Structure 1
Amino acid sequence: MDFRKHILIVEDEPHIANLYREFIEEFDYQTSICLDGEQALSLFTTNPTNFDLVLTDQTMPNISGNELSSQLLKVAPSVPIIMCTGHSTENDKKTAIDIGIKHYLVKPVNLPDLVTVIDNLLKD
């Protein structure tokens, strides 16, 4: 049986999603990628216990990272969410934290820092 932690990566730019996946999997995490928020919401709500953490982009077509996060937290209030954004203001960060997002990162994301954040959020 596979006991690795499972991370849902939600990123509308495939090359960035794959970059995250390749780096994160080097640290023995399992990953799934969704290229839009609607797909992620559908996958997550089908079986929320499959995922230990969500890594999402903020700016995506159809559903923003904030809206996606709000919906995911209604289904699984304890799931840690990391928001990545290409633009940052204190107001954006405050909104993310108010939603319940656990960590906020500005792109380009430093990959070793990302894994440190993931490790810290998934400590047992």
Structure 2
Amino acid sequence: MENHITLAKKLHVLFVDDERLIREMVSDMLSDTVGHVSLASNGQEGLDFYLNSLRPIDIVISDQTMPIMQGLDMLEKIKAHNPTQKCIMITAHSEAKYMLRAIEIGIENFIIKPIIFDKLDNILYDLALKIEQESQ
């Protein structure tokens, strides 16, 4: 079996955040870890991209608080469309209501800001391994 770093390089990640600087910073970091990164600036844009992407998306990473459509609302719609979709929620809010809703929706991981990139890398490696195992 391939190692987790090689597996992560096969991933297509959709990162959704309304703050341009965060999108750029996280995109740069993700580009070092995964093979392909797509970006969206709000939940509606992320959902539209997800549903219309010609290249399958392996992992969706989303901020919670955004204009037009919140992150959890978008992820709930994505999970309804594809219950096996791997999702990571990133938020500045550590309130239990967000975490409980994320669990109910079936979100794989929940990260409280600020983003610690080593932790995100480890989550991506773990999900890459899980995706590989599920595909066999």
Does TM-score exceed 0.5, indicating one fold? yes
SS state at 2:33 partner = coil
SS state at 2:65 partner = coil
Q: Normalising by structure 1, what TM-score? A: 0.92
Of residues 5-14 and 23-32 in structure 1, the stretch that sits farther from structure 2 once superposed is: 23-32
SS state at 2:39 partner = strand
Residue 20 (structure 2) pairs with residue 23 (structure 1): no
1:78-89 correspondence runs (5 A): 78-89=84-95
Structure with the higher helix share, 1 or 2: 2
Q: Which amino acid aligns with 1:101?
A: I
CA contact (8 A) 2:12 2:58 kept: yes
- Larger Cα-atom Rg: 2
Residue 14 (structure 2) pairs with residue 8 (structure 1): yes
Aligned match of 1:72: 78
Q: 1:79 Cα shift?
A: 0.9
SS state at 1:45 partner = helix
Q: 1:49 Cα shift?
A: 5.7
Q: Which amino acid aligns with 2:91?
A: T
**1:9-63 deviation digits (Å, cap 9, x = unpaired):** 0000011111111111112431000011111111111137620000000000111
User: 2: CA distance between counterparts of 1:4 and 1:79?
Assistant: 16
CA contact (8 A) 1:48 1:76 kept: no
Q: Which amino acid aligns with 1:60?
A: M
Aligned match of 1:122: 128
Q: How many residues align?
A: 122
Structure 1: which 5+ residue stretches go unaligned?
A: none
CA contact (8 A) 2:12 2:34 kept: no
User: Could you list the runs of 4 or more consecutive aligned residues of structure 1 that deviate by over 4 angstroms after TM superposition?
Assistant: none
Aligned match for 1:35, one of 16, 26, 41: 41
Structure 2: which 5+ residue stretches go unaligned?
A: 1-8
Percentage of matched positions with identical amino acids? 26
SS state at 1:26 partner = helix
SS state at 1:50 partner = coil
